[in-house]
Amino acid sequence: MLKKDLSLLILILVIGTVTAFLNPRFISPINLSNTANLIGLFGLYAIGAGFVIITGGIDLSVGSLFALLGVVFVDLLSRFEMNWGLAVALMVLAGMAIGGIHAFLIVKMRLQPFIVTLCGLLLYRGIARWYTDDGTAGFEFGQSFPTLEWLTTGRTYGVPHNFVVFILIAIVMGIVLHSSVFGRYLCAVGKNEEAARYSGIHTGWVIATAYIIASGLAGLSSVYFVMYTRSISPASHGNFYELYGIAAAVLGGCSLRGGEGSVFGIVLGAVLLQILQNLVNLLGIPSSLNFAVMGAVILLGVLADQQFVNYRLWLRDRRAKVAPALRDRSAPAGP
């Protein structure tokens, strides 16, 4: 575990303890279960956001993608009565295809990731709103998909299944990022793309794969969000959600300069964000302050982390300075 991850974990425990102390309902089983549910929802695509950030890029299109894929998914199930398994697979594939288009524009056409995915953000939401005539898409009355619902919104002993899926995917992605050849290539490309190319890495493919993974996970997430909300107003569904993903990744230690990050850190980042949301509700802070609290805590956390790093450097410096001085003092006594 990285030192960064450890300090984030400590921050989560401190905030959790204080909140629990102020309002014991925080650790009530039902509250923990609900929070875990939200962590699962918002954590899943944050892993993808992290992969993209590690390449030195960014993906701003995720929230709009939730709206677009969401309304299509509802339509496939309710109007076309498609098999839900097929529909879920289609959503993931559609996400991957969109990621592929982003990657093509970024790698081959050499456009900046910020611009490509910003245009995606505008495009997908616009299309989603046009597709539904700016109305709300929802399932037909009485429609139910027991297995799909069990997989997405079901809980076992209070543990939300989407949280379990999130943890499983996090473990797989953790192995991919930290132990696989691809993960090593991803970090190498993020740190120094040219040197990676000179070492025979197909840097374009590596970057493309990161965008495809990110949008593929977003495709899967869009299914989870649909099943969670049951109906979608494409004008507002998923607004700002890309920023939750980016915030979780950055809180979790992904450097926007690229090359750095850990999946465990992203998981912790997602956990912290949801705890903060929860804390606003439980401590009776006006919910309009929701974003402000989140912003303030992230800012303080990053600031404290930076100061802590500085302090460690200072300590090391001082130790390095003191050591030779001590040696000098003892030198005359020696032979």
Partner 1 sequence: MAEPFLELIGIGKSYPGVQALADVSLSIGSGEVVGLIGENGAGKSTLMKVLGGVVAPSMGVIRLDGHDHASLTVKGSMAAGIAFVHQELNLFENLDVAANVFIGREPRMGGPLKLIDRRKLRDAVRPLLERLGCDFKPETSVADLSIAQRQQLEIAKALSFGARVVIMDEPTSSLTISETNRLLEIIADLKTSGVAVIFISHRLNEVEQCVDRVVVLRDGRLVGKLDRSSIRHESMIRLMIGRDLKDLYTPPAGPPGDTVLDLQELRTPAYPERAVNLSVRRGEILGLAGLIGAGRTELARAVFGIDRPAGGGIALGGERIVISGPRDAIDRGIYLIPEDRKRSGLIVEDSLVDNVSLPDLHSYASLGLVNTGREKRNAETQVKSLRIKVREVEALVASLSGGNQQKVVLAKWLSMQPKVLIFDEPTRGVDVGAKTEIYELMRALADKGVAILMISSDLEEVIGVSDRMAVMHEGAIAGILERGEFSEENVMHLAVGQARN
Footprint of partner 1 (CB under 8 A): 175, 179-182, 184-185, 187-188, 191-192, 194-202, 259, 320-321, 323-324
Least Å distance, CB 273 to partner 1, is: 28
Judged by CB, which is closer to partner 1: 244, or 264?
264
Judged by CB, which is closer to partner 1: 304, or 315?
315
Residue type, 170: A
| Cα(176)–Cα(143) distance, integer angstroms | 38
| Cα(88)–Cα(245) distance, integer angstroms | 21
Judged by CB, which is closer to partner 1: 57, or 70?
57
DSSP string of 106-161?
Answer: IIIS---HHHHHHHHHHHHHHHHHHHTTT--EEPPTT---HHHHHHHT-EETTEEH
Least Å distance, CB 199 to partner 1, is: 4
Contact between residue 271 and residue 12 where contact means Cβ atoms under 8 Å apart? yes
Least Å distance, CB 191 to partner 1, is: 5
**Collapsing DSSP states into helix, strand and coil, what is residue 291?**
helix
Least Å distance, CB 324 to partner 1, is: 5
Judged by CB, which is closer to partner 1: 155, or 184?
184
Residue 286 CA: distances (Å) to CA of 126, 279, 280, 283, 290: 32, 11, 7, 9, 7
| Cα(224)–Cα(42) distance, integer angstroms | 10
Judged by CB, which is closer to partner 1: 103, or 248?
103
DSSP state of 26: G
Question: For the packed helices 161-179 and 181-191, what is the interaxial angle rounded to 10 degrees?
Answer: 70
Least Å distance, CB 183 to partner 1, is: 8
Least Å distance, CB 160 to partner 1, is: 30
- Which residue matches tokens 């465990």? 264
Judged by CB, which is closer to partner 1: 288, or 329?
329
